[in-house]
Structure 1
Amino acid sequence: MKLSLLITFFNEEKILTRTHIEMSKQLDSMLGKELSDYELLYIDDGSSDATLKLIEGIATENSKVRYISLSRNFGREGGILAGFKYATGDAVMVMDGDLQHPPSLIPKFVAAYKEGYDIVSGQRDRTGESKLSSLFAKLFYDVSNHSMDVKLTDGKSELRLLSRRAVETFIALPEYNRFNKGLYEWIGFKEKVIKYKNQVRVAGKSKFGFKKSFNYAIQGIVSFNDKPLRVCVQFGLVSLSIALLYLLVEFIRYFTNPGHTVSGYFTTIAAVILFGGIQLISIGILGEYIGKIYYEVKRRPHFIVGETNIEQAKKDRVG
């Protein structure tokens, strides 16, 4: 089999050369045994440092390196989609460029593919993570699995291997707002999960901080279900019921207890806070969905190719 190893880079000049050496060494050791051929497909996601120059230098020395530099930063989802579109292997394996996905796992993933699995997924433990990060991750998976149309597994990372038919199916999904973890689960196919120990980044800084992680989580939840919209309706019905019940109670007390008076200030403030809060939450949820629709109807490309050594990508430019 021929394996395409897909790696996206964004400002990773400090680790890129080491990543290339480690990946090449592992893949070269598999030639003639597990692999008949391989390609290293590097995606530069609009880096502002020397990442692209390093990739170009590596590509001139190693004929197995193919690269695509996007015109700007389109995000990991766009970079992976670009790689899938131009990968030529029988299977495509996605790995991070910071060596947090150990190259030693490649033979295990290839072996699982040869067993007949269309998707092989890596599941890491939480070793080395802060308690706060682990808590937020657990909260996200709990919320998503109670609301989304697909089931996500805690610890499953972007470390994946997809067969050719799984790749083609993934590419055929047209949506602009892409949440890869959900899409991998949605397309189905026979899957095997390989667990591994979490690795600490050896150089550089993570480009996926709390803010990006939070936005990514919101995108995932909104992209794969409409339950938040139903929750808005449920909140409205509950609020209406409470309001009607309150009016009924006060109406009864007015006739049964003539001396009873209602504090208008307290009632007004309580009603404003309750209904105002519900309305703002509902408007926010509606806004999220309308925003997704706004981007979908534009039908803009998922990525734009700036520079590449792949002839077909030079012709296409957009995807």
Structure 2
Amino acid sequence: MTAPTIPELSIVIPMKDEQDGLASLFFRLLPTLRSLGRSFEVVCVNDGSHDNTVTGLVGLQRAHPEIVIVDLSRNFGKEAALTAGIQHARGNAVIPLDADLQDPPEIIPEMTAKWDSGAEVVIAVRSKRETDSAFKRWTASAFYRTINQMSEVSIPNNAGDFRLMSRPVVNALLSLPERNRFNKGLFAWLGFRTEVVYYERPKRELGTSKWAYRRLWSFAVDGITAFSSLPIRIWTYVGLAFAAFALIYGGVMIFRALILDNIDVPGYASLMVAILFSSGVILTGLGVIGEYVSRIYIEVKGRPLYVVRTVIRAETSAQRR
């Protein structure tokens, strides 16, 4: 049996309930890849879809053997699905791509040109994202400003997972063992020689975004806790500030009682405000500590990041038939 040929490019696409958009996706993606004159594969990761995404992919694979299907046992989330696709990609360069065509495949030739010129990473940055709501643009901008101020790693603003990574970069990425994966931060942490291409983000052609604001909030918390210890360290300074205030206030009260002979009888309202405020600060601090402890708990359990039901390659399908 001959060893499988290593493709030059691997396109990795996490998918969840994308059956309606498969035809449009591959109608634009495959001609773009074939125009490069390079060998390629398209690794599609089914992240627990409830529709006929896998059936549609198997049908497309019969006509396009470059398609590889990684079927996960359930929904593990986009970060895990993306990692699964990268781990199964064999190419000398790997390009993560969203299935909704908001990452236009037509700029892949520009990315590969920069790779040919010596870049090890080529990041696709959104020059315009007017298709997103004003609130989403504002929260995204606020998140990137916050995490870049808190973290030693600078994460490019308006850049998603859409990028080209050479094989040494991919190997370095896969050597990182953490299970709470914030891939944008991991990409930035790796470094390597990096170039940028710009594009205007188009509208989503079909369906709606799977990212509800609750999931975006969790994603932001994961990113901040994964790349900064400031949220937990800051409570040391909050505690010192409260202690200093208590000492100063206590000194003032002693001075008034011993020197001025002026003793206040504290009122119920001021006492309750002080108790409630202090309790709120303590509980908030415990919540931040709990976020970090929960991540330690997940890491030490050592469970796999995802579970694969099956991997379907064209040669596997041919053998079955």
Classify the TM-score, shorter chain: over 0.9
The partner residue of 2:154 within 148, 151, 156 is: 151
Contact 1:7–1:42 at 8 Å: present in 2 too?
A: yes
Cα displacement string for residues 191-235 of structure 1 (whole angstroms, at most 9, x for unaligned residues): 111111011101011001211111100000001121111111111
Shift, 1:262, TM fit:
3.4
SS in 2 for 1:240: helix
Shift of the alpha carbon at 1:267?
4.0
Q: CA deviation at 1:128?
A: 2.1
Is the 8 Å Cα contact of residues 46 and 71 (structure 1) preserved in structure 2? yes
* Aligned 8 A contact 2:48 2:75 in 1: yes
Q: Deviations over 1:236-282 (max 9, x none)?
A: 11011111111111121223333442324244223212321111111
Output aligned runs, 1:91-110, within 5 Å.
91-110=93-112
Over the matched positions of the two proteins, sequence identity in percent amounts to 33
Distance 1:127 1:84, change over 3 A: same
CA contact (8 A) 2:9 2:93 kept: yes
Structure 2 partner of 1:21: 27
Query: What CA distance in whole angstroms lies between the structure 2 residues aligned with 1:233 and 1:154?
Result: 30
| Contact kept in structure 2, 1:69 and 1:305, CA below 8 Å | yes
Supply the AA of the counterpart residue of 2:107.
Answer: L
For 1:96 and 1:121, the matched residues in 2 are separated by 14
Give CA deviations for 1:108-165 in whole Å, capped at 9, x if unaligned. Answer: 0100111111111111122222221111112111211111231112101110110000
Q: Which moved more, 1:123-132 or 1:9-18?
A: 123-132
* Structure 1 match to 2:265: 262
Q: Which runs of 4+ in 1 moved over 3 A?
A: 310-313
**SS, match of residue 159 in structure 1:** strand
Could you tell me how far apart the structure 1 residues matched to 2:26 and 2:108 are?
Answer: 14
Structure 1 length normalisation: TM-score?
A: 0.93
Aligned pairs for 1:25-64 (under 5 A) are 25-31=31-37, 35=38, 37-64=39-66
In 1, the alpha carbon distance for the partners of 2:264 and 2:14 equals 68
Go from structure 1 to structure 2 and tell me whether the alpha carbon gap of 1:312 and 1:252 turns closer, same or farther (over 3 Å shift). Answer: farther
Deviation (angstroms), 1:172: 0.7
Aligned residues: CA RMSD: 1.7
Q: Are residue 212 (structure 1) and residue 218 (structure 2) matched?
A: no
For the residues of structure 2 that align with 1:194 and 1:26, how far apart are their CA atoms? 17
Q: Say how many residue pairs are matched.
A: 309
3-state secondary structure, aligned to 1:15: helix
Q: CA separation in 2, counterparts of 1:77 and 1:120?
A: 20
Distance 1:208 1:48 in 2: 17
Contact preservation (8 Å) 1:16, 1:98: no
- The equivalent of 2:163 in structure 1 is 160
The answer on 1:175 being equivalent to 2:178 is yes
- The Cα of 1:311 is off from its aligned counterpart by 9.8
SS of alignment partner, residue 239 of structure 2: helix
Contact 1:12 1:97 in 2 (8 A): yes
Q: Residues 3-28 of structure 1, C-alpha deviation per residue, up to 9 Å, x if partnerless?
A: 11111111111111210121111112
What SS is found at the alignment partner of 1:96?
coil
Deviations 1:75-121 (A, max 9, x none): 11111111111211110111100100111101001001111111111
Which letter does structure 1 place at the counterpart of 2:21? I
Aligned to 1:244: 247
Q: In structure 2, what is the Cα distance between the partners aligned to 1:310 and 1:86?
A: 11
The unaligned stretches of length 5 or more in structure 2 are 1-6, 317-321
Structure 1 unmatched runs, 5+: 314-319
The TM-score normalised by the length of structure 2 is 0.92
Q: CA deviation at 1:312?
A: 12
Q: How far apart, CA to CA, are the structure 2 residues paired with 1:22 and 1:15?
A: 11
Which residue identity lines up with residue 164 of structure 2 in the other structure? L
